[in-house]
């Protein structure tokens, strides 16, 4: 989340009421006569025969589906629509090596025939898997100082993850590469888990991908007021633990940070102390009670869980009913928050311009990084990284609207609640370029931007699809959005836009999807839900054109 005085990023490796119509809303916000297909009707099924049939169909036509000799497909999850159509998400290996960016989704009709495949590869893999560079040389290259690594202190090899030979197909040109994982600390104190891909033939660093996705806000105050919480009684005390939502809980880090041992070896990491209270009430609405920020973090987790469950039929971040947990009061003056694949961690801010980073949209944003990690797996670099960030902004915003909280009304501003000094929000979805770094319109250089700025294209698209162009007041805030092609866009309403984006991310996006691919995926998702000739499909196409995609 870019903003203010530092390059902020509500990112991550990243709300229990009904939707309410925002102030000044147009009829586009109301349900239309067309009732969308409920995505809760799309179920995860455990039927090996369906997946096996898809694998057989793909491997039997290597040139058609780009699955040739030496390749193996590993089904990960199978989704079944109410219509009987199925979608089998798979990972790929080549000569026993992981193909990074080689994941795909096979789409089968209700008769079991493969009708299409979502994937980034455009040709059958054919390359040598014999490296010309040793893993030690690859490690040396990974530890070389450059624009990325010079900003990381205590940069060292990750002893837990030895260099691994893979096929790197993220950019569409498959290359044999060493993936080297290093640990350290980013400039603002956020842990670093950096994956560096080194060309196994030349020793050149191909790319680096940060595994710890951050939210770079500078503080956070919560305006959620008195909220309901599910807590657990343990003897004479109460724990901030919710057994109704996968056992999610919140701990107090007591201003400690992860140790170097934790960052380098991945063990001995501090979990913090579970937040307790002598009564079922936690916090007093101010920072002088350490339980206040903890209650905010837990509330954000709970509402985000409910949003995904009730709106999209997803059972938690991981989709299996298990919960994650929160760590609050991380570090001293830490003005960030992050999702690390297991949990959310929140700093307290600096107490001057920013408070604890535990607002509703941040919680929704961070947990969505977990959802994306466990669905499409959008690579956190280039245009796919922008889409990853945009997806978190979209659903962080959706969670804020879903909460229907009078103290923190829904809007399309990112990070506005935790600004203490009356400053500007970190991002605006109606006008991403407002922050001076993000872009409203796609161009050939979009993928070269930081992912928190290239996300502006997806954010702008989503706003236009939901609300349309022009000026309107939403959540007591004036919003104004123009288009890149001078067109006038009429929104279809946020509810429909959310359904379309969620289905695209869960069913059609792959790790290497770019903005052109996102256009295709959202058109397919809208077609699935509303029909090929629907106004919703036309609106999706128009909104993408309005941000110069397609």
- Catalytic residue numbers? 366, 452
In whole angstroms, give the CA distance from residue 316 to residue 297.
Answer: 16
Q: Residue 102 and residue 281: Cα distance in Å, rounded? A: 49
CB 462 within 8 A of CB 440: no
In the structure encoding, which two tokens stand for residue 381, read together? 């670099």
- 330 phi/psi in degrees, rounded to 5: -90, 120
Distances (CA, A) of 311 to 39, 76, 198, 494: 8, 23, 42, 12
Q: Which residues contact 507 (CB under 8 A, 6 or more apart)?
A: 42, 79, 87, 105, 118, 521, 524, 525, 528
Rounded Cα distance between 48 and 46, Å, is 6
Q: What is the largest CA-CA distance in the chain?
A: 67
CA angle 500, 506, 511 (to 5 degrees): 115
Neighbours of 139 (CB within 10 A): 18
List CB contacts of 35: < 8 A, sequence separation 6 or more. none
Phi, psi at 389, each rounded to 5°: -65, -40
């Amino acid at each position: 989340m870019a903003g203010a005085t530092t390059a902020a990023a509500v990112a991550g490796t990243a709300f229990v009421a009904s939707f309410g119509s925002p102030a000044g809303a147009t009829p586009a916000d109301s349900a239309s006569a067309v009732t969308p297909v409920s995505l809760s009707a799309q179920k995860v099924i455990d039927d090996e025969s369906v997946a096996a049939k898809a694998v057989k169909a793909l491997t039997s036509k290597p040139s058609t589906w780009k699955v040739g000799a030496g390749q193996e497909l590993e089904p990960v999850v199978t989704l079944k629509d109410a219509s009987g159509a199925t979608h089998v998400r798979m990972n790929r290996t080549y000569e026993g090596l992981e193909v990074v960016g080689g994941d795909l989704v096979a789409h089968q009709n209700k008769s079991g025939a493969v009708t299409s495949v979502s994937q980034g590869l455009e040709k059958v893999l054919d390359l040598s898997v014999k490296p010309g560079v040793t893993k030690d040389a690859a490690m040396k290259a990974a530890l070389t100082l450059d624009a990325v690594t010079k900003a990381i202190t205590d940069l060292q090899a990750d002893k837990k993850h030895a260099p691994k030979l893979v096929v790197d197909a993220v950019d569409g040109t498959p290359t044999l590469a060493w993936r080297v994982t290093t640990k350290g600390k980013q400039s603002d104190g956020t842990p670093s888990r950096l994956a560096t891909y080194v060309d196994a033939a030349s020793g050149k660093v191909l790319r680096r991908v940060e595994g710890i996705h951050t939210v770079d806000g500078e503080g956070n105050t919560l305006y959620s007021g008195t909220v309901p919480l599910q807590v657990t009684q343990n003897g004479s005390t109460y724990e901030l633990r919710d057994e109704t939502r996968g056992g999610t809980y919140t701990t107090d880090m007591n201003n400690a940070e992860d140790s170097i041992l934790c960052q380098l070896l991945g063990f001995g990491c501090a979990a913090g102390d579970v937040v307790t209270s002598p009564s079922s009430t936690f916090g007093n609405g101010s920072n002088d009670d350490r339980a206040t920020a903890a209650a905010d973090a837990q509330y954000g987790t709970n509402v985000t869980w409910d949003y995904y469950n009730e709106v999209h039929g997803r059972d938690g971040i991981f989709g299996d009913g298990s919960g994650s947990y929160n760590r609050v009061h991380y570090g001293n003056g830490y003005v960030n928050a992050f999702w690390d694949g297991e949990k959310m961690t929140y700093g307290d801010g600096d107490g001057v311009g920013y408070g604890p980073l535990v607002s509703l949209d941040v919680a929704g944003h961070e947990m969505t990084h977990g959802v994306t990690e466990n669905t499409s797996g959008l690579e956190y670099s280039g245009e796919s990284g922008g889409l990853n960030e945009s997806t978190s902004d979209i659903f962080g915003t959706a969670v804020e609207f879903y909460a229907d909280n009078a103290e923190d009304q829904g809007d399309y501003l990112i990070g506005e609640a935790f600004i203490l000094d009356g400053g500007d929000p970190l991002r605006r979805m109606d006008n991403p370029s407002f922050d001076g770094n993000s872009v409203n319109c796609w161009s050939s250089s979009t993928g070269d931007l930081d992912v928190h700025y290239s996300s502006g294209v997806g954010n702008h698209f989503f706003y236009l699809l939901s609300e349309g162009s022009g000026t309107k007041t939403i959540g007591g805030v004036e919003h104004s959005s123009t288009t890149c092609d001078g067109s006038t866009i009429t929104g279809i309403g946020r509810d429909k836009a959310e359904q379309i984006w969620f289905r695209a991310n869960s069913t059609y996006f792959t790790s290497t999807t770019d903005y052109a691919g996102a256009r295709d995926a959202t058109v397919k998702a809208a077609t699935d839900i509303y029909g090929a000739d629907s106004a919703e499909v036309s609106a999706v196409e128009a909104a993408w054109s309005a941000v110069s995609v397609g």
